[in-house]
């Protein structure tokens, strides 16, 4: 099931299937935060990353060049949120468009009065409902370093949020999860963050999370995987809900296994 992955490489003048086994250490080195996960988890991440590359086409745009190590590093980060959920959570979309750097995006936004505005903005990533996931390679390279940022996880979180058709910060919850507990945790934290962002006070989450509940979920997911102790300290209830949703407890890796970049 490596057909697309091979096609992608073939399109760049290579004739053989990639010898990916040799490339894993370099790919993991691009995402130092992954050193916190156990050897067994990292092995499962590798397999999931290959499945991801077989299922999704990577499409360089605007003269972007993507090497094999970069492709594997992106796939590892995309695999991280679904490590215990499975790739089926990424159903309904087929490509990852890669720009060299931030890209211009034009879209419509409806304000509180119901007026539609044309917005023209620079983006590091974007996730279209039932469409591609779009990433800036410069921002991808800056993520996964343990500083709380990861644009791949951010955009993949939007994809998970969109599984039920709405991008509203409320992905479909698993059986046994309490929707009221989810809503209470996220709405309390969202209000708290919004108040602090408005007063320009220091915030645990990037203030961009105050834009909307959907952005809050995506930014909180970044911190959950990239600096989980900060999220757990700052918004414990949100951390607990994300642990139930992602079926992972990354903060435990940090405390049990003091390796990696921090």
Judged by beta carbon, residue 50 or residue 133, the one nearer Zn ion is: 133
The count of other CB atoms within 10 Å of the CB of residue 142 is: 14
Residue 110 CA to residue 116 CA, distance in Å, equals 4
Nearest residue to Zn ion, scored by beta-carbon proximity: 218
Give the range of 19-27, 73-81, 208-216, 232-240 binding Zn ion by CB under 5 A. 208-216
Residue 222 CB, nearest distance to Zn ion (Å)?
9
Residues ≥6 apart with Cβ < 8 Å to 38: 253, 257
Judged by beta carbon, residue 51 or residue 215, the one nearer Zn ion is: 215
Phi and psi at 118, nearest 5°, equal: -85, 120
Give the range of 49-57, 174-182, 210-218, 227-235 binding Zn ion by CB under 5 A. 210-218
Give the range of 17-25, 110-118, 175-183, 207-215 binding Zn ion by CB under 5 A. 207-215
* Contact flag: residue 231 with Zn ion (CB under 5 A): no
Strand 133-136 to 95-99 pairing: parallel
How many residues lie near Zn ion (CB under 5 A)?
Answer: 2
Phi and psi at 82, nearest 5°, equal: -105, 15
How would DSSP label each residue in 178-221? Answer: -HHHHHHHHHHHHHHHHHHHHTT---SS-GGGGG-HHHHHHHHH
Judged by beta carbon, residue 206 or residue 215, the one nearer Zn ion is: 215
Q: Of residues 66, 185, 218, 242, which one binds Zn ion by CB under 5 A?
A: 218
Residues in contact with Zn ion by the rule CB under 5 A: 215, 218
């Amino acid at each position: 099931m490596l057909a697309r992955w091979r096609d992608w490489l073939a399109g760049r003048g290579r004739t053989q299937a990639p010898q990916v086994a040799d490339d894993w250490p370099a790919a993991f080195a691009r995402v130092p935060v992954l050193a916190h996960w156990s050897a067994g988890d990292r092995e499962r991440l590798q397999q999931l990353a290959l499945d991801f590359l077989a299922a999704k086409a990577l499409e360089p745009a605007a003269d972007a060049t993507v090497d094999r190590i970069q492709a594997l590093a992106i796939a590892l980060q995309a695999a991280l949120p679904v490590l215990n959920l499975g790739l089926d959570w990424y159903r309904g979309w087929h490509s990852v468009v890669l720009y060299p750097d931030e890209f211009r995006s034009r879209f419509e936004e409806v304000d509180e009065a119901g007026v539609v505005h044309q917005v023209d903005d620079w983006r590091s990533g974007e996730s279209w409902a039932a469409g591609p996931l779009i990433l800036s390679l410069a921002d991808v390279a800056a993520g996964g370093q343990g500083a709380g940022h990861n644009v791949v996880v951010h955009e993949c979180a939007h994809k998970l949020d969109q599984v039920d058709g709405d991008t509203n910060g409320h992905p479909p919850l698993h059986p046994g999860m309490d929707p009221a507990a989810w809503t209470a945790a996220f709405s309390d934290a969202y209000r708290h963050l919004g108040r602090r962002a408005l007063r320009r006070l220091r915030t645990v989450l990037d203030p961009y999370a105050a834009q909307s509940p959907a952005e809050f979920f995506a930014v909180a997911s970044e911190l959950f995987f990239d600096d989980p102790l900060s999220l757990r300290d700052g918004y414990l209830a949100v951390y607990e809900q994300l642990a139930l949703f992602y079926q992972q407890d990354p903060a435990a890796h940090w405390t049990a296994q003091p390796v990696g970049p921090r």
